[in-house]
Amino acid sequence: MIDPELRDKILAEPEVLLEDRDVMNALIGANERLMGSNIVDLRGIAMERLEGRLDRLEDTHRTVIAAAYENLAGTNQVHRAILQMMDPLSFEEFLKTLASDVAGTLRVDCVRLVLESVQDAEDPALRKLGDVLYVAEPGFVGEYISGGRNVPLRPVVLRQVLPESDALYGERAGWIRSEALMKLDFGKGRLPGMLVLGAEDPHQFKPTHGTDLLAFFAGVFERTMRRWLS
């Protein structure tokens, strides 16, 4: 016999049982055993299918919420990096900010700004600007982004690092494993450039990831660079 105190509690608050999935499953199972094996409970089968659909919907809901939070966090990161990028008053300070504050905000391990130029890369005036700036021969950007293949150039490319990246990353080439490449257009009559974000994590930048935020960041970066190049 059921305990009188428990019985009174159930009668006083029956909705407690209805809200507990495990208890309801136990009651339904007991009811099916009482009916015998030669009776098919269509209502029970329908309930099981509905429960399965509800579980899948809950999983989808959690995935969507997690993706929304991740996207919001990424948006905030990019916005903070843009504000930091706009603070410097000189080009030298601008490059230092890229290597420190902007890199930290975007959680990357290396930043490179590639500028194509006919000027000698060993010029003391260029070397004074630090490791962030990489001066390359005309055509380097397209060659590097395409990996030497004859394919259309996308504005943003996410991938694992290729062997020919050693020259670009210098001393850090041994531990940079993935990279984000953003092709830069500095305006009519100017050679293109490229902003490179390198990460030690080989999975930080993958071709399957979205590129909208980085495309926006690259657009702001282009406009900022035009100010320094003018």
pLDDT of residue 149: 79
Greater confidence (120 vs 86) lies with: 86
Q: Judge contact between 171 and 89, C-beta under 8 A.
A: no
| Range scoring the smallest mean pLDDT among 17-21, 154-158, 183-187, 212-216 | 17-21
The mean pLDDT of the chain is: 82
Q: What is the pTM of this model?
A: 0.68
Greater confidence (93 vs 163) lies with: 93
Closest CA to 216 of 81, 95, 119: 81
Q: What is the pLDDT of residues 125-149, one digit of tens each?
A: 555 566 888 888 898 999 999 887 7
Q: What is the pLDDT of residues 99-108, one digit of tens each?
A: 899 999 999 9
Q: Judge contact between 165 and 173, C-beta under 8 A.
A: yes
- Domains parsed from the chain with CATH numbers: 89-229 (3.30.450.40)
